Amino acid sequence: MANLIIRVQSCEGTIRVKTSSGETLSTFLSKVAEQLSIPKRGWSVYTDRSKSTRIESSSRKTVASVPLKHGDMVYLFKTGAGVSNVTSEVSLQDTKPENQVEEDEIDVLLSKQDGLIHRKRDPHMCHHGDNSKCVHCVPLEPYDETFLKEHDPPIKHMSLHAYFKKWSHGIDKGKFTMLKDISCKIKEGCAEHPPWPGGICTKCQPTAITLKRQDYRHVDNILFENPSIVQPFLDYWRRTGNQRLGFLYGRYEEHKDVPLGIRAVVAAIYEPPQEGTPDSLELLPNPNLDTVNKLAADLGLRIVGWIFSDLVPDDVKKGTVKHLRDINTHFLTAEECIMAGDFQNQYVSPCRYASSGKFGSKFVTVVVSEGNDENQIGFDGFQVSNQCMALVRDDCLVPTLDDPGLGYIRESSSEQYVPDVFYKDTDSYGNEVTLLARPMPIEYLLVQVSAAFPVQPVYTFSPPPSNGAVFPIENRENIGELQDFDAVRRHLSQYPPGNFLSAMSNFHLLVFLATNDMLPLKTHMEELCAAIKNKDAEACDGWRKGEQWGTVEQIIAAHGKDAPSPGPFTHGPIGDVDMEDMTQASRVSSWTCKHCTFINHAMGSCEMCGLPQA
C-alpha cells in the first residue's frame, strides 16, 4: 500500500492528511474531522469544488477506489447553514423562530412583568386628583436613563429584560425584531470563490467590529447565602498560600433593587481538580463534573458561575492583603476574561427573542482580592460582554505579554480570517479617535456585577456544627484533607440519631456519596436530594431505611479501625451481610498511599506514584 498525502481545502484553510491507498474511506474522513477539530456530522467532502462527486464514508471502500492519488486536493463543505456574520445584536427579521425555546424559570417570570417604575404623586408638581397621573408621576419604563443614573446607588447597567423592553418598545412591539449573535467567522458555503485563504467576498466576509461597553447585563447581583460558604474556600489560601478556584452552585431569582433584575444566589462552592501556585491556577480534567451537575439539579440548584482567588498577604498578624486591582491597574486580566468568556459560552442562556434560541449567558465571575481601603479581603463580581463571548468563541482574542490589563486581536493568517476590531478612545486633545484593537484595554469587554452577603444568613444546607469538624472539601488531598469513610463517620457522629436530615444536608458530603464508585448510591440519590431540597425529615428517614444506605452504613462502620458500632443512624445489618467480612473487604478495597496520599482501591502498588503499599 502506497503512502499518500491528500490536501483538504475548507473555509478554515487547507490541511494535509496522511493516509494510504488501502485505508478505508471512513478512517480517512475521521482523520479529516480530527485535524480540523470539527464534529463528525454536518459536512461532506467532494473531489471537486463544484460538488459533483461526493466521497461517501465506507468501511469497505478504500482511498484508492475514489480514486485519490498522492497530492490530490479534495474540498470540504458544511451541509448546515452557517451563522450570519453580523456585528449588531438586533436586526430586522420577517418571522420569529419556529421552535419554542424553553427559557429559564426566572426569564419566564420576568417576561410576564411590565417592569414599570411607579412614582408617588409629587405634592409640588402634581396639580391633579389622586386618581390621575401627569408627566411628573406617570410610571417610568424600566430602562429610563434618568432614573438609573439618579438611583442611590446609581445603576450602571440596565437589566437584561429592561433591555428587551427597550428594543421592543414601539408600535410593532418588536414583532419584526430579533436578537442575533455576533460572528467573527467567514460565512460558510460560498461558491463564488475558493475557501480561505483562496479568496473572500463581501457576502461571506464578517464585518468589522467596534467594541462598545455593554449597557445591559444578564445578572444584576450576586448573593452568597452566608459566610460559611466562602470561609472554607479562603482557608485553602490561608493554609497554603496557593490560589484556589471553585464553581458556584445556586439559583437565579428576581432582584428587586433593579427594575426587572436578576440575582444569582450562591448556595455552595464546588472545587474541581486543579493545581494552584501563589501566582497561577490550572484546571485539571474532571470526570465527575456531570455527576455533580446532576446532583445539583436534583437539589434544585445549578451552576451559576465561578470564583477564584488572587491574594497576596500584606500583614499576616492583621490579616490584610495587598492592593492589586483597581481602575489604575486592572479589574480582570485578559487571561481571566478569556476564561470567563469560555465559561459563558459553555453556559449560554436560552432566549426566545434570539434567532439561534440562545443569547448571552448568566454565568458570573467572582474574584477574591483586596476589597476596601483597609486592605481587607473583598469579593468583586463581573461578566464579560456578548462581544467578548464572540471573540473568545471564534478564537480571536489573546492576552498580551507585557500588560495583564491589555488584550490583543489576532491577525489574519492562512489558517484563520480575523475581522478588524476597533475601539474608541479620547486623545490628548480631547478628541474621540478610533483605534485598532492591537492591543486594547480589556475594560471594554467587562460588565461589573455587585457581590454581597445578606444581613440575615440563609442556609440551603445545614450550617456547620459549632466547634465541630467540617466535612472535608473535595480535591484537597494535597493538603491532607481526605474525603473517605472515616470522614463520613466523624461527620455523622456529630448529629443526634433523630436528626438525619441535618446530617445529610451537606453539599460536599453529597458530592462524595454521589461520585464514589465504591458506594451503591450514584443512581439512588434523587429521593435523598428531594428530601433535602424540601427539608422533609420524614422522607429523608424513609430513604435512610433503604438497602443502599444500609450497605453504606456497614462499610462506614467497618472502615473505622476503632469504631465500635456502625454509628447513630444504622438500623442493623442487611440480609446476610457479615460485619467481619465487611471489615476485611473494606480494608482490602481502600488504602491511602503514604507517599502521595492517593486513595487506592486495590492491594499492592499505588496507582498514582507506583510505590508499594507501606
For 382-395, give one letter per residue: b (16+ CB within 10 A) or e.
bbbbbbbbbbbbbe
Tell me: do 387 and 500 sit in the same domain: no
What's the pLDDT at 582?
Answer: 39
Confidence check: pLDDT of 295 > 80: yes
Q: Can you list the positions of beta strands (E) in 166-289?
A: 177-179, 209-210, 216-217, 221-224, 245-255, 261-270, 274-276, 281-283
- Looking up residue 59, the CATH number of its domain turns out to be 3.10.20.90
What's the pLDDT at 248?
Answer: 97
Q: Beta-carbon neighbour count of residue 433 at 10 Å?
A: 11
Would 305 be classed as within a structural domain?
yes
At 436-446, the pLDDT tens digits run: 999 999 999 99
Confidence check: pLDDT of 257 > 70: yes
The kind and range of the H/E element at 13 are strand 13-20
Can you read off the three cell numbers belonging to residue 82? 452557517
At 240-256, the pLDDT tens digits run: 999 999 999 999 999 99
Tell me: do 448 and 482 sit in the same domain: no
Tell me: do 489 and 448 sit in the same domain: no
Tell me: do 241 and 352 sit in the same domain: yes
Using the 3D structure, point to which of 536, 560, 584 is the last residue of a domain: 560
Between 27 and 12, the higher pLDDT residue: 27
Confidence check: pLDDT of 341 > 90: yes
What's the pLDDT at 542?
Answer: 92
Confidence check: pLDDT of 347 > 50: yes
Would 614 be classed as within a structural domain?
no
Q: Please report how many Cα atoms fall inside a 13 Å half-sphere around the Cα of residue 189, on the Cβ side.
A: 11
Between 189 and 143, the higher pLDDT residue: 143
What's the pLDDT at 87?
Answer: 39
Say if residue 439 is preceded by a cis peptide, omega within 30 of 0.
yes
Would 371 be classed as within a structural domain?
yes
Confidence check: pLDDT of 327 > 90: no
The pLDDT of 179-204, averaged and rounded, is: 80
Q: Which residue has the cell 498522492?
A: 70
Whole-prediction pTM value? 0.75
Cβ-contact 434, 420 below 8 angstroms: no
Tell me: do 372 and 519 sit in the same domain: no
Tell me: do 483 and 370 sit in the same domain: no
What's the pLDDT at 263?
Answer: 96
- Looking up residue 270, the CATH number of its domain turns out to be 3.40.140.10
DSSP three-state, residue 581: helix
Distance from the Cα of residue 375 to its chain's centroid: 29
Tell me: do 280 and 389 sit in the same domain: yes
Would 143 be classed as within a structural domain?
no
The residue range of the domain holding 527 is 477-560
Q: Return d(Cα 117, Cα 35) in angstroms, integer.
A: 55
What's the pLDDT at 170?
Answer: 56
Between 161 and 179, the higher pLDDT residue: 161
Would 151 be classed as within a structural domain?
no
Would 506 be classed as within a structural domain?
yes
Tell me: do 379 and 489 sit in the same domain: no
pLDDT range class, residue 610, cuts 50, 70, 90: low
Cβ-contact 136, 111 below 8 angstroms: no
pLDDT range class, residue 599, cuts 50, 70, 90: low
Q: Return d(Cα 275, Cα 268) in angstroms, integer.
A: 21
Confidence check: pLDDT of 139 > 50: yes
What is the total count of domains within the chain? Answer: 3
At 59-86, the pLDDT tens digits run: 888 888 888 888 888 888 877 533 333 3
What's the pLDDT at 177?
Answer: 58
Tell me: do 448 and 501 sit in the same domain: no
Tell me: do 372 and 482 sit in the same domain: no
At 209-230, the pLDDT tens digits run: 999 999 999 999 999 999 999 9
Tell me: do 491 and 388 sit in the same domain: no
Tell me: do 392 and 490 sit in the same domain: no
At 538-556, the pLDDT tens digits run: 999 999 988 888 888 888 8
What's the pLDDT at 364?
Answer: 97
Would 583 be classed as within a structural domain?
no
Quick one: which of 177, 183, 178 has its CA closest to 207?
Answer: 183
Would 289 be classed as within a structural domain?
yes
Phi, psi of 489 (to 5 degrees): -60, -45
